[in-house]
Amino acid sequence: MKQFNKLQQKWGVGAVQFWLIMLTFALGGSLSGYLNKQLLNLVFLEKNVAYWVFYPIVLTILWPFSVIFVSLVTGQFRFFKGYLSRMLARLFGKGVAKPATSSTTNNTHYNNVAHNAVSRAAMPIHVAIFASGAGSNAKKIIEYFENQGVIKVSLIVCNVPGAGVLAIAAEKGIPTLIINKTEFSATGYVSSLKNADIHFIVLAGFLWKVPEVLVNAYSKAIINIHPALLPNYGGKGMYGNRVHAAIIEAGEIESGITIHWVDAQYDEGDIIFQARCAVEPGETPETLANKIHALEHAHFAPTIEKLLLG
């Protein structure tokens, strides 16, 4: 049982998913064994030396296809897709492809920290989400990667005790770290993040400025989402309805979201991705916020996946 607990922690899955994964392994193995015997019985009239030479070869070929088939039934396809990708990477000595940059940016840098994490055998890639409020974006990201197997939300960092995102973390069984501003500014909690084996950081409605010590420790491994089309309507104090109200007051005809790398300044890191929406006549900060939230929920998690897996 202790070994099972270690596997569950290594894979970063809950108890129910763990046993679904084990069931998939068992059924996939049985299916591949059955198919193997049927195929070899068609080719060989008796179980001679050639039969036993081909037995492990054909079984090895059939096993991944059988497991993937069973995973579709058990709902674990995303986990096994990542699991088999890692196995192939180990067998052929190759890492996963480098993260691709978005067509909306001129940034030519790759996420070296995340790429190194993907390339090594130990998986999954552990992601920390920093959030200050209700956590709607955090929830979407968590759910997007729940059964993916390669990318795992492993820590929620929050600066507001009682924030809604902490309830989401509790519901999903994700560890949390409550931070205070003095220590955050001084240390960036880098040691805590490293001890949790965090490879990548996502800011999802996190309102504090990220200190330089953390930016340096996670160079090109921290991203943020901003509810406007940067470089406009960014900077200190520009968040939530403040941004939407400023856009409407200025008479803008469009707004949108910007996903960008984080540096030591507010909203000044290189742009990774942008998506746009119209600002209609009679728009209010609340109605514009709904449009922006829809864009965030649609694009944030897939952009993270593209950065980390290519």
The catalytic site residues sit at: 226
Q: Which token pair is 304? A: 């993270």
Alpha carbon distances (Å) from 191 to 93, 166, 214, 217, 238: 31, 21, 10, 10, 30
SS3 268: coil
SS3 125: strand
CB 68 within 8 A of CB 84: yes
Strand arrangement, sheet containing 151-158: 176-178, 151-158, 125-131, 200-203, 222-226, 254-261, 271-278
Could you give the angle at the alpha carbon of 196 between the alpha carbons of 310 and 296, nearest 5°?
45
In this structure, the chain runs to a length of 310
